[in-house]
Amino acid sequence: MTARLIALIVLVWLLIGAAAAYQRGYFKTDSSNCAKVGTVAATVVAGPLNYVGVNPKITCVIPQPSK
């Protein structure tokens, strides 16, 4: 019973995240690359947090090549 409840909660969470990604238009473009896939995946996973008032931000610091 508990495993089914957890599975249902996870499924609903991911569906809400997919709806958030759809609202942002991430599924409309034909071009796909690693950055696009990463953006969609992060939105699906963290998207429901936006609906409850949390605004998660992901920052990426890319190391610069040495001179």
CA atoms within 13 A on the CB side of 39: 11
Residue 17 lies in a domain: yes
pTM score of the predicted model? 0.66
Residue 20 lies in a domain: yes
Question: 16-27: b or e for each residue (b if 16 or more CB lie within 10 Å)?
Answer: ebbebbeeeebe
How many domains are there within the chain?
1
Residue 66 counted as domain residue: no
Q: Is residue 27 part of a domain?
A: yes
| Domain with 11 in it | 2-51
Mean pLDDT for 2-8 is 92
19 occurs within a structural domain: yes
Structure tokens, 23: 């609202």
Q: Is residue 60 part of a domain?
A: no
Over residues 11-67, the pLDDT tens digits come to 999 998 888 888 888 787 666 777 778 878 888 888 788 777 776 666 777 777 887
